[in-house]
Structure 1
Amino acid sequence: MERSKKILCGLQNQYYRATWKSMGFSTDDLKRPMIGIANAWSECVPGHFNLRQVAQRVKDGIYRAGATPVEFGVIGGCDGMGQGHDGMHYILPSRELIANSIESMAQINLFDGIVLLGSCDKIVPGMLMAAARLDIPCILLPGGPMDGGIVFDGRQSDQTSSTEAYGMLTAKKISEKEYTSLENLSCPTCGSCSYLGTANTMCSLSEALGMTLPDGGIIPAASAARLAIAEKTGIKIVELIEKNITARKIITNESIRNAIKTCLSMSGSTNAVMHLTAIAHEAELNINVLEEFDKLSRTTPQIAKINPASKYNMIDFYKAGGVSRLLDEMENIIDTDQMTVTCHTVKENVDNHIYQYPKNSELIKTMESPFGYQGGVAVLRGNIAPNTGITKPGAFDKNLHHFVGEAICFNSEEEAEEAILNGEVRSGHVVVIRYEGPKGGPGMREMYKAMKYLYGRGLSKSTALITDGRFSGTNNGCFVGHISPEAAEGGPIAIIEDGDKIEIDVENKMLNLMVSDNEISLRLSKWKRPEPKFKRGYLGLYCKIASSGAEGAIMNYDKLV
């Protein structure tokens, strides 16, 4: 029986029907399946700005297929707006709020299924976490990527170009006129960022996971096709309900592996590691996502290069065939029998896919002739990162895959950024930014600005950066993030000193502090746990019960017991 029938059928349930009818729903509406539309539309997030129009077309599809749509709002923060200030503390923790609020609305109203509308970094994984937790029919539909802007520094610009340009301006490499021109010309439309950041990585991986219709993650925000696929999504959610295809029939160990391989094949955002870990946790799967990334990165070729790894942006990727083309190329190494929200398997989707544009062999290569024979995301370990460190070798020069440098240490993002802009960081430095992990940050802030400033000042190929925080998917250069244990938990990153030698060895998956074990032990014995930065409100709770980056930075409520 449909969930909604429990409160909408029978004389005893007149109260619920009267409540719906107070908002204009008819008797006929209430006899149909009730489908929630979790819409993260706002005027705060460019990736969500078009979701009002998208939602209407989803409603059209639901009505057309014989069900009743019920729209409700979900919060969603833009990572870009939170960068470099206290707002970034809230970005990762907001993922849990999003999952919790969708779960709450679905259960309060006993929806039969949900269409999830969201495009951006923590909203997409938060919505997929809710789908996995609820295990009812669900489809995720993003709003699509924005167009690229005016050409700057050899590629179409985006909002991150402004941060790179500011580094160039402080280094007197460009004029103020060149710098200010980007303000009006780098973001010509709404949509998720035009590059392969965390937002578009997770939208792409939702396709690979089977939770988004083919092309649904990457059709441009400003295109007619975006509205057409919205209506198709509305039709499909009704079919999922009729066939009782719930989220956990799609989100399985094997579909998670398909998503991991897709991420590796396109050198997606390092944040995908923690988000897929959290989604698998909510689906109660027994897969170790971190170990799978480590193992599969050694055997999965990189066959796509998208900005920041190349000049091509997400719309170019869509025109080159997108995720469907990747799945087609990887057919022999993925599980093509996995069910998807089309009500067909991955193989059936790939076999029946119609490509609207010609191939682009500079953007998507074949398995026989890839960009590299190992994946674009790698897991490192060593005496700095006993549990894990995550890097993205597919997005930076191979000459940096082995880097030995001298540590220059900072206990916050802001300290590091000030030093970089003041010229204190020089070639050969390994910038260490710590106390920015899930607990210490709290919220595991991104070191996006620090990396962009290094790029802008001409240091991206002669320095490295390591942190217990995270990185934006747009970052390139030699970096290692997600270092665990984090500094606030007494991880070895806490005791690195200025001048220490650090070795980053991507090929051998190593990250090491080049001092003796005895010296490390001595320093750790003198370390003292710092006071939490937030003691009240949501972040006061989050920093108490957040798990490590290696565990997906989920909220571990057992710690409250």
Structure 2
Amino acid sequence: MGKKENYTHVLLKPEMARMRALSKAIGYDNEDLHRFRIGIQNTWSETAAGHTHLKQVTEAVRAGIWQAGGTPIEFGGYGGCPIALGMNGHRYDTPSRDIMAMDVETCSELHSFDGLVLISSCDKNVPAHLLAAARMNIPTVIVLGGPMGSGRFRFRNVDMSDLDPFSWACETDPASVNYDSVEEMTECLCPGPGACALMGTANTMQCISEALGMSLPGNATTVAGSGSLLRLAKQAGRAIVRLIDEDVKPSDIITPEAMENAIRILHAIGGGTNAVVHLLALSHELGMLDRVNLQLIEKLGMDTPCITPIKPSGPYHLEDLGEAGGIQGVMKRLGEKIHPSPVTVNGKTVGGNIEEARIRNEEIIRPLENPVFSEGLYVLHGNLADSAVVRPTVIAKSMHQVTGPARVFESMESCLDAIRLHKINPGDIIVLRYEGPKGGPGLTDVFKIMGYLVSLNLHESCAVISDGKVSGFAKGPFICQVTPEAAEGGTIALVHEGDAICIDLPARSLELLVSDAELAERRRTWKPNPPRVTKGLLTLYAKSALPATMGAGLPLNLDTAE
């Protein structure tokens, strides 16, 4: 880090007259061209509720940049909340993260920005912006669109998770559904823009961005559409000019210590399992996997209790967490578990920001000795998986230790069909395979499987094991991100219908109760399934995607491209 000497930019070189002329055609004058050129990715679109308010947020960022003496240059993007849930199109969900990161990379390289402000809310946009910031390594602030406020239905606070069991039942048990009531709920569950009001992947990643120091303190829990968010956005516009002037880059902020802080926060807030893949992708991007890896996530989880009862791990919403003290309050509660020295985008250290935090509700940000759950996310091991991830806070205690018969499915669609036709029985253990990074291809989010089970009240008697991933909305015993995946010949590919499987969460164990000799014979005769796709973007993932333990993206550096 070091203060920049002047505001000279490549555009001011004599030989850049052509580009100065084109910039003046847009409306920039000579004064503007002598300032820092700051790219703003405004991911406003009508594709996602989490992004429909970002025009106004972007205008506030622009105002802050102008106030601080920079020149804002806006470019577009889109919100990645998929309509294609449970359909083939949902296999584009994880790849969209990498596409969005490449979009920022490409535009930034083409237009030689001095710095970036990246504005986003939803599941893949926020991790995409973290990846892009790390890859470009020019001064960057991530402005988070914030959570949606909770809705009101028949005199109580509600969110999308309150609708889901009835919505899924329209497909699994239509006779049980009061369609008028379902339609009434659709009118009021989502009162406005923002990331859905519970601790799904979107809000988990917003919290992680703030914990990393890449977003301003308080941003992750400031409700979308509020004046408070616009004020934060304006502050972010001013902050990026200071970061450029002082040459503070993402590599100065996202240090191994900052990554450890983010992992602590993931466990402490009971965050969704998808965040594990995104953190590992970020670590891979930064060249930190030797230190910040799944083993570290597992280790820190054993030493970090979940202390915030935010849905689906409790009754509260993100707006409640914000009022209680937000992510800075959670970090303050974690005390010595948090590294205080990393710098953040507001110019203060993590420790400096935490000093100003206030904890206003002991039930929402609990003392460490009174947690929601004694540990964070679990990583399981055994002969069925070198590693697999599970979220214990959303699993009934009766399902923490179970043994049952395998019900094997080769695709998300065939599994959904079986549940829809009531072919799954209490006690069954669903094994859903060929949905990993290469097998999906793209690491499919198979959340709808859990939704179907909840709609039939099977989520407290059936478990799901998959090499795919599962949304932060899900409740029930889902074990995901199994490695090695089926397409790579992992043991999950060798499971037969009816095999006994033992799940033991306290022991972190996932065992297929089949002899080593039998497994060796099955492995000898195993053949991978033919590719699910033969054209388009997903063929890249089918051919070369990295495993979930490395972030499940494409190998975009020479170390992993070979």
1:93 aligns with 2:118: no
Contact (CA 8 Å) 2:11, 2:20: kept in 1 or not?
A: yes
1: distance between equivalents of 2:330 and 2:251?
A: 24
Question: Per-residue displacement from partner, 1:217-246 (whole Å, max 9, x unpaired)?
Answer: 221112111111110110111111111111
Contact (CA 8 Å) 1:2, 1:112: kept in 2 or not?
A: no
Question: Per-residue displacement from partner, 1:349-373 (whole Å, max 9, x unpaired)?
Answer: 11123x5xx7233322012322233
1: distance between equivalents of 2:249 and 2:505?
A: 39
Question: Per-residue displacement from partner, 1:162-219 (whole Å, max 9, x unpaired)?
Answer: 4311344544544222222222222121111111111100000001011000111221
What does residue 327 of structure 1 align with?
331
* DSSP-derived class of the 1:82 partner: coil
Contact (CA 8 Å) 1:439, 1:488: kept in 2 or not?
A: yes
2: distance between equivalents of 1:502 and 1:379?
A: 17
What does residue 106 of structure 1 align with?
108
What does residue 44 of structure 1 align with?
47
- CA 1:22/1:437 → structure 2, altered by over 3 Å: closer, same or farther? same
What does residue 336 of structure 1 align with?
340
Q: Identity of aligned pairs, percent? A: 38
What does residue 383 of structure 1 align with?
383
- CA 1:490/1:3 → structure 2, altered by over 3 Å: closer, same or farther? farther
1:298 aligns with 2:305: no
1:267 aligns with 2:266: no
What does residue 362 of structure 2 align with?
361
Deviation of 1:348 (Å): 0.6
Deviation of 1:72 (Å): 0.5
What does residue 544 of structure 1 align with?
543
- CA 1:77/1:3 → structure 2, altered by over 3 Å: closer, same or farther? farther
1: distance between equivalents of 2:539 and 2:284?
A: 23
1: distance between equivalents of 2:163 and 2:352?
A: 43
Q: Which moved more, 1:111-120 or 1:541-550?
A: 541-550
Contact (CA 8 Å) 2:223, 2:229: kept in 1 or not?
A: yes
* DSSP-derived class of the 1:332 partner: helix
Contact (CA 8 Å) 1:267, 1:395: kept in 2 or not?
A: no
Which blocks of at least 5 consecutive residues in structure 1 are unaligned?
Answer: none
Q: Partner amino acid for 2:375?
A: Q
1:222 aligns with 2:232: no
2: distance between equivalents of 1:440 and 1:3?
A: 51
Write the mapping of 1:107-506 to structure 2, written as runs, cut at 5 A. 107-151=109-153, 156-169=157-170, 170-171=172-173, 172-285=175-288, 286-353=290-357, 355=358, 359-375=360-376, 377-386=377-386, 388-506=387-505
1: distance between equivalents of 2:177 and 2:367?
A: 39
Contact (CA 8 Å) 1:141, 1:212: kept in 2 or not?
A: yes
2: distance between equivalents of 1:209 and 1:89?
A: 28
Deviation of 1:19 (Å): 1.5
Deviation of 1:4 (Å): 8.0
* DSSP-derived class of the 1:196 partner: coil
Q: Partner amino acid for 2:149?
A: D
1: distance between equivalents of 2:293 and 2:158?
A: 33
2: distance between equivalents of 1:284 and 1:167?
A: 41
2: distance between equivalents of 1:270 and 1:155?
A: 28
* DSSP-derived class of the 1:409 partner: strand
2: distance between equivalents of 1:157 and 1:165?
A: 14
Q: Partner amino acid for 2:141?
A: I
Deviation of 1:159 (Å): 3.3
2: distance between equivalents of 1:520 and 1:76?
A: 44
Q: Partner amino acid for 1:82?
A: A
2: distance between equivalents of 1:16 and 1:29?
A: 13
2: distance between equivalents of 1:242 and 1:3?
A: 8
1:519 aligns with 2:518: yes
Deviation of 1:428 (Å): 0.5
Q: Partner amino acid for 1:525?
A: R
- CA 1:405/1:545 → structure 2, altered by over 3 Å: closer, same or farther? same
Q: Normalising to structure 1: TM-score of the pair?
A: 0.95
Deviation of 1:5 (Å): 3.4
Deviation of 1:266 (Å): 1.1
What does residue 60 of structure 1 align with?
63
Q: Partner amino acid for 2:41?
A: A
Contact (CA 8 Å) 1:413, 1:433: kept in 2 or not?
A: yes
- CA 1:156/1:451 → structure 2, altered by over 3 Å: closer, same or farther? farther
- CA 1:155/1:417 → structure 2, altered by over 3 Å: closer, same or farther? farther
How many pairs were matched up?
Answer: 554
Contact (CA 8 Å) 1:500, 1:513: kept in 2 or not?
A: yes
Deviation of 1:134 (Å): 1.1
2: distance between equivalents of 1:434 and 1:182?
A: 34
1: distance between equivalents of 2:13 and 2:426?
A: 74
Over the aligned positions, Cα root-mean-square deviation in angstroms equals 1.8
2: distance between equivalents of 1:527 and 1:187?
A: 47
1: distance between equivalents of 2:540 and 2:529?
A: 16
What does residue 85 of structure 2 align with?
83
Deviation of 1:3 (Å): 10
2: distance between equivalents of 1:453 and 1:311?
A: 22
Contact (CA 8 Å) 1:4, 1:111: kept in 2 or not?
A: no
- CA 1:523/1:56 → structure 2, altered by over 3 Å: closer, same or farther? same
Question: Per-residue displacement from partner, 1:511-556 (whole Å, max 9, x unpaired)?
Answer: 1111111111111222111221112221112221101111110212
- CA 1:57/1:321 → structure 2, altered by over 3 Å: closer, same or farther? same
Contact (CA 8 Å) 1:245, 1:343: kept in 2 or not?
A: no
Which blocks of at least 5 consecutive residues in structure 2 are unaligned?
Answer: none
